Structure 1
């Protein structure tokens, strides 16, 4: 469950989960599920007044779920917007003659209009802060004579001189005017060795269609300028973007032009040919291949002041949300080898570091934190020559600091925040959770007759007999799991779902199944099932929304 919002309530009921049918279920599957539950919950099946009252509640829930999923119109609305979509007051719907596809289209249009209204209220701020540090005195002291007599200069003379060599700041905000028109206001400031400058940009972008757009941008700062940019999809595989810029200086108008033609080679590969003309003319070509696990980038640039060849490789470790990078760049400026890693540290944040070894640039360490649309960079120049010690420290130190900070600060903080959110959710939804628990216990009570019948039938034919089923905060492969406050016994409802010695659970949360409730709101839940099949013991533990089909030979155990 997503815990980004502190005000989040218990999820609305999932009708598919309640009926235990897949989201693509046919009308026949829905009818069969309805008949199965009706045999358990129909009030006429129970003579005891207390059980009859409980049965009426469960039968009404069953009937409501069936009425929605069996009606193509209601089902289309429910699939698009959930239960709130069925509450038609305030919504511009629903003509009964419309098809499900037309209903979905109408809701998509309404959702698009609401999204546009929200977009007008958002400024979508973007920013970039770069602070460059000169730390070459750590490994290349400016004056070695200072260390010849440590008593003459004292302790302070031995402290390395680390200074900030440059800073750059940029910030931009969007002003959506309509769904197709957007204005962007941005500004930049930079300083280097005591000298600085900056500028402010105002642009207007118009989207003609999904195939083309145009943009006009005006710049003021170190000389006013105006530029025109555009994009156009030429064919299914080719697209173009380019533009021109006019910069006004005391020496006159300086024109410039840029153009890029791209080609989609295959599903994973794309090629670019670019030209930038003006004061400096540059011609470049680039080939990018991006697959699920690897990314290759090969580029060649010819022009002034430098020409070079560059090859970059990125390995994606998806399970750990990690990217390992390696790059080579050689040209008229010299040569550079760069390696590093990028790690996703939270839902909206990425942290990366890389080590750059080059001739004649020396050794640099680059640190970068990306938080949503904000980028914070800190390149540190460690040494003007390639030496083993700065390479070693630049490689090892960021990894050590990351592990220490993550284990000692970040993970305890996130764990505490998670606990607070879960606890707040439980408090906010305490009454609803009590109601759901009461409802689940009532459902299990109503299932007793069906449970006994199904179990006896399965035992008689040596079929699928559920020995124990638990749902909640279960440690996988634990042999001593018992019912606690955050674990509920669901042996009865699981056995009732068995038909012809088979049990099928679909990719829905179990908490909405009859006889279930969520005993660990906001936390990861598992389902443990211990069962006999052909009088042989079996056991399986699965995640909350993982589909399963029993029995399976792989579930056999040595339990007696």
Structure 2
């Protein structure tokens, strides 16, 4: 169960898991699953009044799952919205005019739009905050101050100061589906002097192939600009614009134009030209795959010309990115390396070490929270020396590990424990009902269990000796088993057909005869079985596909 979810109820019924079929199961597979369960749970199969009453409850559940999954329209609604969609009054009648594919496509689009709206609400406004810190006195202290005051302990402390700050914020105001206004502002200061500006823009979307934007700027001289984007062909795109900046010296015009080409599935090339206020020509090639990103660029013009190569390695399993960048030009040379780590659902933390000539050594710390970016470049040394490079590399890693292990992980663990306990309290009665239903199902399975066990024994087939499900701390028969477990030998044996067992990739807590004995915690299925009179044993994760028998499960008996 996802503890980050706001839903504190037990997950809703999984009809696929209950029938033990895959999500792309054919109608014949669903029919076969329905017939198999009907033979066990149909009320007419039981003469005892108590068993008959229990069978009626479970047969109704089987019937409901079958009715939904065997109907293409209801199945499409269930796949998109779950059981809540099936309970919407009038929905089934209205949606009869649409095909299952149309229903799925519509709700995938609605889900994407809803997620985008929620993201915008959570991240609005967007902004950037940059605070530059001068800490060069740590490695390049001034030695000329040798009077009595500065020779004291206090005077020996390094001077660390904020050298510059930059702030920018923007807010979008959607007017129509195709028109959006954006209000933004910027402030910057360096060594006691600074400035700022306010921007107001209007963007109109003509079609999926193009848009145009008009922007007015006030601050360091008013300016008016016009920007546009256009898809030329399937592989070529263009954007460009013009600006008029009004200064005391007169009107300064500027133009820019960029042509982009989709080279292949993962690669894009750009050619850009700027003229007027800033004159330059640049070309860039970006290749972005699932695990790697390459960026090669060349710029010729003012204020600098340079060649740059960047490489980013994406380690998706750890939400980690490693980056290396080299840049050389008329300003000198820069080598940059570092990593970016996803620390929460909406937050990334990055550390970069920048070694340059003549800029020296800098440590850049960047925190991204949704669309808010906070950057802290710390200037450590005006020359490239081993000691600042070493400390800039090691200290952030050690600090991150200490904070993570000492504060973040214990806090998250405590919050998860509180939420889990609240879930258990809120769903206590539902869990009791689930347990009661599972015990009733196992009782109704006894006749089927005895028949299958006898058939498999005669042909030395697949015999389930022991099956347990829940919070299993040990992986073997001698391992430690917690109290949060359920004996599922009977229902697992009842799933055996022709000496084979298959359980699809769903949570096994929804299978007949199962329930969730360890809500919100990791669960396992441990099976000890015989096949051809040979002992076998296996432990599988809750959502892992189960296929028995397998030679790899055989145990060595001395």
Confirm or deny a common fold (TM above 0.5).
yes
Answering whether residue 143 of structure 2 is matched by residue 144 of structure 1, we say yes
Answering whether residue 293 of structure 2 is matched by residue 295 of structure 1, we say yes
Paired residues for 1:175-186 under 5 Å = 175-186=173-184
Cα distance between partner residues in 1 of 2:113 and 2:293 = 37
Cα distance between partner residues in 2 of 1:214 and 1:456 = 76
Q: Cα distance 1:483–1:392, how it changes in 2: closer, same or farther (>3 A)?
A: closer
Cα distance between partner residues in 1 of 2:358 and 2:453 = 79
Cα distance between partner residues in 1 of 2:206 and 2:540 = 49
Q: 2:373 maps to what in 1?
A: 375
* 8 Å Cα contact 1:7-1:425 kept in structure 2: no
Q: Displacement of 1:518 after TM fit?
A: 1.6
Cα distance between partner residues in 2 of 1:501 and 1:383 = 72
**Which region of structure 1 is more displaced relative to structure 2, 534-543 or 45-54?**
534-543
Q: 1:204 maps to what in 2?
A: 202
**Which region of structure 1 is more displaced relative to structure 2, 421-430 or 114-123?**
114-123
Q: 1:488 maps to what in 2?
A: 486
Paired residues for 1:14-29 under 5 Å = 14-29=14-29
**Which region of structure 1 is more displaced relative to structure 2, 122-131 or 528-537?**
122-131
Over the aligned positions, Cα root-mean-square deviation in angstroms equals 2.3
Answering whether residue 213 of structure 2 is matched by residue 222 of structure 1, we say no
**Which region of structure 1 is more displaced relative to structure 2, 486-495 or 359-368?**
486-495
Show CA shifts across 1:387-438 (max 9, x none). Answer: 1110110011011111111111111111111111111111222221211111
Answering whether residue 94 of structure 2 is matched by residue 55 of structure 1, we say no
Q: 2:496 maps to what in 1?
A: 498
Q: Cα distance 1:397–1:426, how it changes in 2: closer, same or farther (>3 A)?
A: same
**Which region of structure 1 is more displaced relative to structure 2, 473-482 or 26-35?**
473-482
Cα distance between partner residues in 2 of 1:122 and 1:416 = 25
Paired residues for 1:392-471 under 5 Å = 392-471=390-469
Q: Displacement of 1:360 after TM fit?
A: 0.2
Cα distance between partner residues in 1 of 2:45 and 2:481 = 30
Q: Displacement of 1:481 after TM fit?
A: 4.8
Q: Displacement of 1:20 after TM fit?
A: 0.7
Paired residues for 1:150-549 under 5 Å = 153-475=151-473, 477-481=475-479, 484-549=482-547
Cα distance between partner residues in 1 of 2:181 and 2:476 = 58
Q: Cα distance 1:164–1:478, how it changes in 2: closer, same or farther (>3 A)?
A: farther
Cα distance between partner residues in 2 of 1:394 and 1:113 = 42
Cα distance between partner residues in 2 of 1:171 and 1:336 = 29
**Which region of structure 1 is more displaced relative to structure 2, 435-444 or 361-370?**
435-444
**Which region of structure 1 is more displaced relative to structure 2, 175-184 or 294-303?**
175-184
Show CA shifts across 1:429-452 (max 9, x none). Answer: 222121111111111111111112
* 8 Å Cα contact 1:355-1:395 kept in structure 2: yes
Q: Displacement of 1:84 after TM fit?
A: 1.6
* 8 Å Cα contact 2:462-2:496 kept in structure 1: yes
Aligned to 1:438, the other structure's residue is in SS state helix
Q: Displacement of 1:87 after TM fit?
A: 1.9
Show CA shifts across 1:152-186 (max 9, x none). Answer: 73112211110000111112222233333322222
Q: Displacement of 1:523 after TM fit?
A: 2.3
Q: Cα distance 1:444–1:266, how it changes in 2: closer, same or farther (>3 A)?
A: same
* 8 Å Cα contact 1:120-1:175 kept in structure 2: no
Cα distance between partner residues in 2 of 1:508 and 1:56 = 25
**Which region of structure 1 is more displaced relative to structure 2, 228-237 or 202-211?**
202-211
Q: Cα distance 1:39–1:138, how it changes in 2: closer, same or farther (>3 A)?
A: same
> When the two structures are superposed, what TM-score results if normalisation uses the length of structure 1?
0.94
Cα distance between partner residues in 2 of 1:472 and 1:238 = 55
* 8 Å Cα contact 2:460-2:533 kept in structure 1: yes
Cα distance between partner residues in 1 of 2:541 and 2:279 = 58
Aligned to 1:522, the other structure's residue is in SS state coil
Uncovered stretches (5+) of structure 1, i.e. residues with no partner: none
Cα distance between partner residues in 2 of 1:116 and 1:345 = 21
Cα distance between partner residues in 2 of 1:357 and 1:111 = 45
Q: Cα distance 1:525–1:187, how it changes in 2: closer, same or farther (>3 A)?
A: farther
Q: Cα distance 1:260–1:97, how it changes in 2: closer, same or farther (>3 A)?
A: closer
Cα distance between partner residues in 2 of 1:277 and 1:476 = 69
Cα distance between partner residues in 1 of 2:113 and 2:90 = 14
Show CA shifts across 1:28-60 (max 9, x none). Answer: 000000000000100111111111111000000
Cα distance between partner residues in 1 of 2:128 and 2:93 = 45
Q: 1:82 maps to what in 2?
A: 82
Q: 2:46 maps to what in 1?
A: 46
Q: Cα distance 1:160–1:176, how it changes in 2: closer, same or farther (>3 A)?
A: same
* 8 Å Cα contact 2:340-2:351 kept in structure 1: yes
Uncovered stretches (5+) of structure 2, i.e. residues with no partner: none
Q: Displacement of 1:95 after TM fit?
A: 5.2
Aligned to 1:94, the other structure's residue is in SS state helix
**Which region of structure 1 is more displaced relative to structure 2, 165-174 or 305-314?**
165-174
